[in-house]
Copies of this chain bind each other. A is one copy, B any other.
């Protein structure tokens, strides 16, 4: 019955959403919970944000501000991105589903392309290298997230019981590789060297 100014604006909403995503996962993010955390009706959010999907875009873009500025070495940036996505899995899943075309993301891409050109790449090579490194980082983060909590056996009907020892070995081997940050760094190096300024 009040309807008085609640100091609501886009940044406040995005910050609240980010906290909820970190605490309760991607499925825990609902307009109603965000509004409750701000002491406001769910409908109040719609005056500042276009809807849940747009809110998620803003959350993803905002989360990128936690990463270090790109200077010359792209490796540092992607290692930091990888660490962040592993630590905040909901963000990785959100990035997998959303376009990633916010202002922060675009600015980072511009800086990355400029850095690559400075080191001798032409426009195409720079774009290819950046896209490859980003794709690999996202995929490696998602794969690692899904492998980290090694699941109980027998959850999947249809796996022959007598094959499970072998299945277990395969899973353990792959999980070990997925959590190996040395491997991650080596692949980044490989991708950086893969498109040489011939």
Contacts and interface: CB of A to CB of B under 8 A. Distances in A.
A117 B36 CA distance: 55
A10 interface: yes
Contact of A135 (B54, B123, B136, B158): B136
Residues of A in contact with B, size category: 35 or more
A99 interface: yes
Given A138-B143, A170-B110, A194-B187, A177 B131 contact: yes
A10 B157 CA distance: 10
Contacts of A174: 109, 127, 130-131
Copy total for this chain: 2
Contacts of A109: 170, 174
22 contacts: A92-B96, A96-B142, A103-B158, A106-B171, A109-B170, A109-B174, A113-B173, A123-B173, A128-B177, A128-B180, A130-B177, A131-B140, A131-B143, A131-B178, A131-B183, A135-B140, A135-B142, A137-B139, A139-B139, A139-B140, A190-B190, A190-B191
Interface in A147-162: 147, 151, 155-159
